[in-house]
Structure 1
Amino acid sequence: MRVFVTGASGWIGSAVVPELIGAGHQVVGLARSDASADALAAAGAEVHRGSLDDLDALREAAAASDGVIHLAFKHDIAFTGDFQGASDADRRAIDAFGEVLAGSDRPLVIASGTLGLSPGHVATEKDTAAAGSPRAANAEAALGLAVGGVRSSVVRLSPTVHGDGDKGFLASLVSIARDKGVSGYIGDGANRWTAVHRLDAATLFRLAVEKAPAGSVLHGVAEEGVPLRAIAEAIGRHLGLPVVPVAPEDAAGHFTWMADFLALDSPASNTLTRELLGWRPTHPGLIADLDAGHYFDGS
């Protein structure tokens, strides 16, 4: 297959590209900068210059491909307060892909998330996200393309997609612990986060573009729920810091922008995904990955 990948030089995309190439696929990656273009070329991918806002460039690349994996998201503006703007750009890209792929039965795989899907309960692929979430609405729009002849699927990723080089939630927790001099967790720390290794997530995206049926919801979840206290204990152990509870009313002051996320209890299952696609996560779990030490290099 000739697969067009947005976000191809990002944290997950840079693992998806070699996964696809290793399986014999031809990859075309979206690049908005020279650095991204160079990284894609070095990985063996064809470069398609453009950005998430360049809808004509997205349509052109999708039209010339056998399938699309859409990973790009404007995290830069989302994390500075304009999540709606980032979601709107994401929706425009999904709609553009839907226009080009309509009636072709070609695959469109997009990324979403499990965090907050079914608070306090183990969410399954059959659960729907709460109304009002812009990104969840985008996922539903992508799934809706199936009735128009697009083999669309959604991969709901764990909030913790970990691995060497991670600069996301887990790396941010390590940074906060260093700054505060303690490794904290909220309340009793029993609330759970799902987790998946970046390389296992890449395999799932490959399987999805290859064979996920139209309208599939997939869970990029290797571990159903890792207690936040266990994560804090691993960080404290490696940094030589005390592990302490943080009262819920003090969480915003301690964890800043991460506080609301860290307070969620959001476990999720991968049973249906494994049964549907034969996906078998094989890489280290979250605590084992922390214990590998790369999150603490330079400490």
Structure 2
Amino acid sequence: MHVFVTGATGWVGSAVVRDLLGAGHQVSGLARCQEKAAALAATGAKVVRGTLDDLDVLRNAASAADAVIHTAFNHDFSRFAENAEQDRRAILALGGALRGSERPLLVTSGLFGLTRGASELEVVSPASPRKSEATARDLAERGVRVATVRLAPSVHGAGDHGFVPILIRLAREKGVSAYPGDGSHCWSGVHRLDAARVYRLALEQGVTQSVYHAVADEAVPFKDIAQAIGRGLGVPVESREREHFGWFAHMASANMAVSSEYTRGLLDWMPSGPGLLTDLEHPGYYAE
């Protein structure tokens, strides 16, 4: 099938593009600048130039595709509300182009606001600042074939620039790898290539569910993550108050750990990449 991918040059999206191409699908991908467009073209994908604010570009690309995967999101936390609204508008534009057809749309969200151990059936809290999943549910009620892929907070691997590298930078700056409280709260993790495969398998199966969990390590204690970072940097590992983590305190203190049992059985998805703690032993995570 021909799949249009937003965020096609991003951390997750670029892995999705390569996985789709490797499985024999055609891919067109959104790229916002010439450098990223050239990198995308080198993979064999067709380039669609534009940004998430170019709603007509999104509609036209979605209209020309057999399926759409939306992975793009601006992770500038200083303007998260604005970015969540941009994401909502983009999802509505993509969904509007697919409405009335059987062509599926997969959108991306996270685990924040879910209870520990939640299944794919649990609905994310309405108070969640990211609106991806709520927007997908609204589209489903309007007849769009849409589902949400919930990503683990750590989508790890070589080149990771997500939440764990934020913790590594903080530990390097402050000379201690810290965890809030007793560190017993947990994060889920998934290797980047395993996460990419969830999107493809969901499309190939026909997007029969409303939510999928791209989660391999279901519950990694935060203290274990801090200890791995401490070993990697050669710094002490200690408990610290929330203030230590600054703007990242809300995330560092959160339980973001769910079950992926249903997704694994439904898609016959068997994560094969290294686990989060194994990946954190790699020296590449600590190179300056």
Structure 1 length-normalised TM = 0.93
Query: How far apart are the structure 1 equivalents of 2:215 and 2:141?
Result: 27
1:150 positional shift: 2.8
Residue 101 in structure 1 maps to residue 111 in structure 2: no
Query: How far apart are the structure 2 equivalents of 1:212 and 1:296?
Result: 40
Greater CA drift, 103-112 or 257-266: 257-266
1:121-170 Cα deviation digits (max 9, x unpaired): 311111111122242x4313313433544321100111111111011111
Query: How far apart are the structure 1 equivalents of 2:206 and 2:239?
Result: 42
What is the match of residue 41 of structure 2? Answer: 41
1:195·1:285 contact (CA, 8 Å) conserved in 2?
yes
* Candidates 191, 199, 204, aligned match of 2:193: 199
What is the match of residue 127 of structure 2? Answer: 132
1:153·1:215 contact (CA, 8 Å) conserved in 2?
yes
Query: How far apart are the structure 1 equivalents of 2:94 and 2:176?
Result: 46
Q: Which amino acid aligns with 2:25?
A: H
SS in 1 for 2:125: coil
Seen in structure 2, the aligned counterparts of structure 1 residues 268 and 163 have a Cα distance that, compared at 3 Å, is same
Residue 142 in structure 1 maps to residue 132 in structure 2: no
1:178 positional shift: 0.8
Query: How far apart are the structure 2 equivalents of 1:104 and 1:116?
Result: 32
Residue 162 in structure 1 maps to residue 143 in structure 2: no
| Identity within the alignment, % | 53
Query: How far apart are the structure 2 equivalents of 1:56 and 1:179?
Result: 44
Counterparts of 1:1-299 in structure 2, within 5 Å, are: 1-76=1-76, 79-80=77-78, 82-118=79-115, 121-135=116-130, 137-247=131-241, 251-252=242-243, 254-298=244-288
SS in 2 for 1:89: helix
Query: How far apart are the structure 1 equivalents of 2:269 and 2:206?
Result: 11
Unmatched 5+ residue regions in structure 1?
Answer: none
1:42 positional shift: 1.1
Query: How far apart are the structure 2 equivalents of 1:175 and 1:147?
Result: 43
1:225·1:267 contact (CA, 8 Å) conserved in 2?
yes
Unmatched 5+ residue regions in structure 2?
Answer: none
Query: How far apart are the structure 1 equivalents of 2:142 and 2:265?
Result: 26
Query: How far apart are the structure 2 equivalents of 1:214 and 1:91?
Result: 22
1:24 positional shift: 0.3
Q: Which amino acid aligns with 1:35?
A: E
SS in 2 for 1:88: helix
Greater CA drift, 177-186 or 210-219: 210-219
Structure 2 length-normalised TM = 0.96
Query: How far apart are the structure 1 equivalents of 2:157 and 2:93?
Result: 32
How many residue pairs get matched? Answer: 288
Query: How far apart are the structure 2 equivalents of 1:152 and 1:32?
Result: 25
Q: Which amino acid aligns with 2:65?
A: S
Query: How far apart are the structure 2 equivalents of 1:258 and 1:296?
Result: 19
